[in-house]
Structure 1
Amino acid sequence: MNVSVWNMKGRRMSDGGGPDRKARHVYSWGNPDVDIPGRNTCHVSSGDVCHVSSGMGPYREGAFLPSVYYKMPTVDAISLGLIMNAQGVLGLGLFKMLKKVKAIDHESFVVMCTSMLVVAGSITPIIKYLYDPSRRYLSYKRTVMHSKPNSELRVLVCMHDEENVHTTINLLQALYPTKWSPMAIYVLHLVELVGRAKPLLIPHKLTRKSSSKATMSQRIVNAFRFSEESNHRVASVQPFTAISPYASMHNEVCAIALDRKISLIIVPFNRRFNANGGLELFKKAVRTMNNVVRDKAPCSVAILVDRASSAAQAQGM
């Protein structure tokens, strides 16, 4: 069942002749033509009998058939058809409104809500099994080897904290950007999502203001801003902050790489050197993210192993 509030129409009908006939209201959604209930997505009448006709089949076919006709992959077409049949909070709110205006009785309200939950509960795992967002990265592959001489090199730098900032800047300077071969640096500060349901991608503006109360993202952005100025603007910097759970953080990295036509992604190693020269695990989830980015990224991927921080710690001791 797929309900559209903005297409709702109503009319008053009678149940038959006689002085004691009872009037009822007929509501239709989805298709403005109320005279053909079979074409409506939802058809509800108030009275002794409530009839709800589901438009799941027409909506599924209406999304699936055009998708196949325009040569969309069959799996994606099926996923789109299933998504078109899913309902959420809007559907529940609409059912509640119908019950409030007495267009449906309590029994019908329970049936409609239960059917919606069953449909949504069955569609969700099917879509999760069928649809893989990373497939779109396969159609685009732009590696360092594909970069033309004397052209702009686009690099995406991923940072989890400030520890690898200095080493990363030194590495970018070693690429030696020039006026004839400039470099576009996209800095992505990766932050684990906590307490929210939706990932966020926040762009930052490069400013000259500095403050002792600056956040970690601002300090990382400022470091790359100074690097941009020292390179006489031949290396432009565009900073972002991605707030996402580690399980899907690779999607944020690959999506930016695809949208910005990145040639090289630099991610920090999941292990770090301590002051004694030994390796210690930073975060296990970072290792998983690095592996997925390496397998599914639409460009070249470099893993940065930073030994400078351990050397600095050893000198400090």
Structure 2
Amino acid sequence: MNLNENESMFRTIRSVNESTQRYWVCIDASPHIVSDGLWSNGEANRNPMKSFLPLFELQVLLIFGVTQICGLLLTPFRLPPFISQMMAGLILQGCFMVEPVGTYLRKMFPYGTHDTISTISSIGFVLFIFINGVQMDFGLITRMGKKAWAIAIMGLVVPLLAAITTVSVSPQLVEDGEYYNFVVASVSHTVISFAVIASLLNHLEMQNSELGKLALSSALVSDVLCTMVTSTGTIFAEGGTREIITNLLSLSSMVIFVPLLCRPAMFWIIRRTPEGRPVKDAFIYLIILLLFFLSWLSIQINQESVLGAFILGLSVPEGPPLGSALVKKLNFFATTFLLPIFVTTCMLKADFSITFSSLSITTISLVVLLIHVIKIISCIIPALYCSMPFRDALSLALILNSKGVMEIGLYCYLYDNRIIDGLTYGIMMVSIVMVACIVQWSVKILYEPSRKYGGYQKRNIMSLKEGSELRMVVCIHKPKHISWMIDVVDLCCPTAENPIIVDALHLIELVGRALPILIHHRHQRHESGREHKSYSDDVILSFDIYQHEKAHAVWAHPCTAISPWSLMYEDVCNLAFDKVASIIILPFHQRWSMDGEVEWEEKSVRALNCRVLERAPCSVGILVTRSASSAHRLAVIYLGGDDDQEALCIAKRATRKDGMSLVVYHIVCQEAEEEHLHIQVELDSENDNIRYQQIIATRGSDTASFLSEIGKQHDFFIVGRRHGIRSPQTDGLTNWSEFPELGVIADFLSSPDLGTRASILVVQQQLSPKPPPSFFF
């Protein structure tokens, strides 16, 4: 290491001993924080390149730019975000060795500023650990099944025993002075981090899948056990007997008294917060101050600073209002701003220019590979024993072997404290990149959650036998959706001879917790926790009343799903699949006022509807509500196709209701007028409240004119989506379609320009499931 004044923050530098690289330096007693500016006279001699704040701002700007470019270039490979941040550090490190770029970079990253950016970015790592602790549902450990416990314990204990066995015979395998590096390399790869697994599953959009929930449950147990073992081991590894006893008592006090005192205080904050109102900022800032105090306290007892943050995070009640408020307040500052800087600076510390010993590289690499193979096998065996398919068991094992930001922080801590050397640190950083890439690509290939729907045909209303029960899943986002969904169930005319079993799914966005949950209120009315119960009380009460009114005709099962918007469709589809539902009813993402203005719109609801239409294991209906009045004048717009046939079946079922009249408008082109007369035979029944009318339309404009005429004559329309079907009757209308998920006809009827107050149910019959991809497994 050769130092000069231009590439450091020191005033003068003089070499004392070149062989030992010792220097005599002169520094300012009061360091320059801010500069005089580019156009100042420099009277105070505060050069921008010799002041800490301007240099920090330039370093952050450079790191941000390089990480964004790397992220953009790596987007097609669908890698986790921290990979691009590590690549940015690797690129910057390589640029230091290339002239003349290296000269400018050494001036931008002079010796003496590395501690500044590392310390500030470490705050982001501490906040990241705290956020993940907040999102953990610690009470889940007491509710998990035997499968999660078996996989968690086997996946941790067996590799750990293998690592200890390998270390016990390692003195003959490693060179002198590198034994401790070998111990760290072998043992550290047995650790399973909940934060890493949660981030990976979020990136893979697998949090709501059965495999994702099992992986999160197993990772939670493993992470807590690993934290207990490593924290205790750190205390016994350093210091004398008196220091060990003092630190052990301090650690025990922190583990016991922080949850014991902080958790009741946080529940007191929740009780002081009115329902639907945000938590006061004063409480948020007080918790953040406590977070930094506990991080400082952790350092005083020879622990990592993140330990106190993790314990405090576990003490915070997950979910709204407090947990979600903390996550929203800290997530951008920690995860988006400071954490990428932390990851990049950690990679900058890895020195790949040193002379590597081939024996050390080979030995450590082989041991890391061996530990991962043993860990995969130890996770697969209990999964297979629990009757899990091999592909899913292998995917689960790979997920639990993933490495990420937690391991980066761990190795950086060990390197900064000179517990491992630069060789081991570089190998470990490379292993993180390789393992993360392998896991990401392998799981994408192996696991396809929608393949379980394959082979299950005829889950639709048209295939129901006479007198059989109808199973429905209705989705609710807001309180006003409750009455709308009850009206749809009532429209299908439940009777004792033709009963309806309805699963009312209340969908809530996942905020402030990492693990999605599905609550069946009939079975576990109190298991969800007090902070979530009130959100679904209206749903439970309304459907209980409706079931009581329709005794022996309706059985209602309220449920609550708490998950991210991007993964909410899996909750809907999985529930419909498990309950053998024939149709899913979804609310439309817009709500119009009486004067035609949009009074409610949620783009995330629209995205959910589109995903359900693509993946649903049964038929799907989207309800466009325009009026709260009950439907008596029903109409079906029929053009042909499976979707229109499904819509016609629902309409025929609705005609059993007293006072209901139905008109079926059969729109045909003039040339094909004789081909669809069989529809009139299907509608021939004893009921005289069904009327069939054939409409001739040779082009889309004729259909539009007809729909404009009948728009105000009915108060409810049932229409098939007819996705992907083109016909002369709809030519030209597609170009004006605003919402493709409704189909051409329903999109035209739902337009505010039409002036109708009729509600619309858009029906898509069950799609033929796509065959699962065929692989060797």
Using the size of structure 2 for normalisation, the TM-score is: 0.31
Q: Distance in 1 between matches of 2:443 and 2:601?
A: 30
- Counting only pairs closer than 5 Å after superposition, residues 231-270 of structure 1 correspond to structure 2 as 231-270=550-589
Gap change, CA 1:222 and 1:80, over 3 Å in 2: closer
Q: Shift in Å at residue 91 of structure 1? A: 7.0
Q: Distance in 1 between matches of 2:160 and 2:434?
A: 20
Q: Shift in Å at residue 107 of structure 1? A: 3.9
Asked if 1:113 is matched to 2:268, the reply is no
The range that moved more, 4-13 or 284-293, is 4-13
2:451 is aligned to 135
Q: Shift in Å at residue 168 of structure 1? A: 1.5
Secondary structure in 2 matching 1:145? coil
- Counting only pairs closer than 5 Å after superposition, residues 205-216 of structure 1 correspond to structure 2 as 205=522, 215-216=534-535
Q: 2:548 aligns with which of 229, 235, 238?
A: 229
| 1:232-271 residue CA offsets vs partner (Å, 9 max, x unmatched) | 1431111111112211111111111112211110000111
Q: 1:299 aligns with which of 600, 613, 618?
A: 618
Q: Shift in Å at residue 7 of structure 1? A: 4.4
Q: Distance in 2 between matches of 1:223 and 1:80?
A: 40
Gap change, CA 1:13 and 1:82, over 3 Å in 2: closer
Q: Is the 8 A contact 1:273 1:309 kept in 2?
A: no
Task: Report the residue type matching 1:187 in the other structure.
Answer: A
Runs of 5+ unmatched residues, structure 2: 1-154, 190-358, 526-532, 631-756, 758-777
1:86 is aligned to 402
* Structure with higher helix content: 2
Structure number with the bigger relative contact order (C-alpha 8 A, sep ≥ 6) is 1
2:441 is aligned to 126
Q: Distance in 2 between matches of 1:140 and 1:149?
A: 20
The range that moved more, 180-189 or 263-272, is 180-189
Q: Is the 8 A contact 1:201 1:241 kept in 2?
A: yes
1:211 is aligned to none
Task: Report the residue type matching 1:254 in the other structure.
Answer: C
Q: Shift in Å at residue 13 of structure 1? A: 6.9
The range that moved more, 154-163 or 111-120, is 111-120
Task: Report the residue type matching 2:559 in the other structure.
Answer: F
Q: Is the 8 A contact 2:399 2:443 kept in 1?
A: no
Secondary structure in 2 matching 1:302? strand
Task: Report the residue type matching 2:436 in the other structure.
Answer: G
Secondary structure in 1 matching 2:495? coil
Secondary structure in 2 matching 1:146? coil
Gap change, CA 1:108 and 1:152, over 3 Å in 2: farther
Alignment size in residue pairs? 276
Q: Distance in 2 between matches of 1:95 and 1:169?
A: 56
Structure with higher Rg: it is 2
1:38 is aligned to none
Asked if 1:55 is matched to 2:210, the reply is no
Asked if 1:149 is matched to 2:304, the reply is no
Q: Shift in Å at residue 227 of structure 1? A: 0.4
Q: Distance in 1 between matches of 2:627 and 2:469?
A: 28
Q: Distance in 1 between matches of 2:375 and 2:171?
A: 33
Q: Is the 8 A contact 1:164 1:306 kept in 2?
A: no
Secondary structure in 1 matching 2:512? coil
Q: Shift in Å at residue 195 of structure 1? A: 2.4
Secondary structure in 1 matching 2:485? helix
Gap change, CA 1:157 and 1:92, over 3 Å in 2: same
Gap change, CA 1:221 and 1:112, over 3 Å in 2: farther
| 1:78-99 residue CA offsets vs partner (Å, 9 max, x unmatched) | 8668546534689789989x99
The range that moved more, 283-292 or 146-155, is 146-155
Secondary structure in 2 matching 1:134? helix
The range that moved more, 232-241 or 172-181, is 172-181
* Structure with higher strand content: 1
State the Cα RMSD in Å. Answer: 4.5
Q: Distance in 1 between matches of 2:560 and 2:596?
A: 31
Gap change, CA 1:151 and 1:267, over 3 Å in 2: same
Gap change, CA 1:228 and 1:15, over 3 Å in 2: closer
Q: 2:501 aligns with which of 165, 181, 184?
A: 184
- Counting only pairs closer than 5 Å after superposition, residues 26-41 of structure 1 correspond to structure 2 as none
Identity %: 31
Q: 2:608 aligns with which of 264, 270, 289?
A: 289
